Amino acid sequence: MRILVIGANGFLGSHLVDAFSALGHEVTAFDRFLRQAPRFDPTKAAVFKGDFLDNRDLARAVAGQDEVFHFLSATTPITAQHDPTIDVRVNITQSIQLFAECARARVKRIHFASTGGAVYGVSAKAPLIEDRSPQPKSPYAIGKLALEHYLEYFRLEAGLDYRVLRISNPYGPRQAPDRSQGLIPIALRRILSGQPLTQFGDGSMVRDFIYVEDLTRMIRDTLEREGRHRTYNLGSGVGTSVSEVFALLRDITGRDFAVVRRSAPATFVNRAVLDISRFTADFGEPSIRSLREGIQRTWDELNGAKCTTGSEPGRSLFPALRPT
């Protein structure tokens, strides 16, 4: 298949480029590449230097593609919280433009990286299922849900097929610790530099963490096999509190650290764990490593990156990034 990955030099996008290339697909990696060399293997994919805000670049990029993966976001939950208009002006407007270009180019299907717990907007004891009515409370999640609805519009109006991937809390190599998103990479980097960690609330907040390689395999499965649905939760299906994560971090790193407590924003969901039974029914039981193993691998690779000098360009594990 001919596959376009939008946001290909980001955390998730770069892993997708490598995974799809390894399967023998013809992959085009779309990103700005302003100050970074490709973080994926550039010998296995076509590099498309383009600007997501340029409609002409989008039109050229989607032409002739079978599948398009939209894994770029100009905001994080925190930055969207500070300026709610950003999602509207950039993410929503340009994503709609992308959908329109995909429809015009007769793309077979577009895959959209939505958000897991935040889009549901509720704190539930039971894992969250796709059929639950979303009640997003944050600008970031509201924007994601709006785009899910626009995808349905383009399906009905223009015949553009789509798949919505509601992703929980991925972590692992290539995730930027300076983007105010991702508890585990931010915490590990601060531990490494001897800085205190920030905790929102009393530590009881629960999230569904999934190691990036496991998530990538799940996304690969949704591409390689046909499912019966257009929306899927992607996560581990296991909830872990912030206090439990911090205890694991102390144990794995062998280092103690101070914790600075702050009030949790009113839009934060206290508990968000995804039900992945729909994915399992359609694609099989995913192979998901334990949180301890995933954090250990992330810590080992971060330490390796810190101790290595003159490393291969584009292979830094935690560079700054913009895409998702």
pLDDT, tens digit, for every residue of 36-57? Answer: 789 999 999 999 999 999 999 9
68 CB-near residues (< 8 Å, 6+ apart)? 3, 4, 6, 62, 98, 102, 107, 109, 110, 111
- Beta strands of the chain (E only): which ranges? 2-6, 26-31, 46-49, 67-70, 109-115, 161-167, 169-171, 197-200, 206-207, 209-211, 231-234, 240-241, 259-262, 271-272
Name the residue among 11, 29, 7 with its Cα closest to residue 20: 29
pLDDT at 179: 62
In eight-state DSSP terms, residue 173 is T
pLDDT(243) > 90: yes
Strands 67-70, 2-6: pairing is parallel
Sign of the alpha-carbon dihedral angle for 242, 277, 226, 131:
negative
**Cβ distance 104 to 89 under 8 Å?**
no
pLDDT, tens digit, for every residue of 14-40? Answer: 999 999 999 999 999 999 998 778 999
pLDDT, mean of residues 224-240: 96
pLDDT at 122: 87
pLDDT at 180: 61
Helices (DSSP H) in 11-105: which residue ranges? 11-22, 55-62, 77-82, 85-86, 93-104
pLDDT at 311: 32
pLDDT at 84: 83
What whole-number distance in Å separates Cα of residue 217 and Cα of residue 279? 12
User: Would you list the DSSP string of 211-255?
Assistant: EHHHHHHHHHHHHHS--S-SEEEES-S--EEHHHHHHHHHHHH--
In eight-state DSSP terms, residue 22 is H
pLDDT, tens digit, for every residue of 187-198? Answer: 999 999 999 999
What whole-number distance in Å separates Cα of residue 34 and Cα of residue 61? 17
pLDDT tier at 177 (50, 70, 90 boundaries)?
low
Q: Which of 7-16, 41-50, 95-104, 296-305 has the lowest mean pLDDT?
A: 296-305
**Cβ distance 176 to 320 under 8 Å?**
yes
Tokens at 269, concatenated: 């969901």
Cα angle, residue 269 at apex, residues 83 and 171 outer, rounded to 5°: 85
The pTM score is 0.91
pLDDT, mean of residues 294-312: 71
What is the Rg, in whole angstroms, of the alpha carbon atoms belonging to the chain? Answer: 19
- Find the helix or strand (DSSP H, E) in which 40 lies: none
pLDDT, tens digit, for every residue of 131-155? Answer: 999 999 999 999 999 999 999 999 9
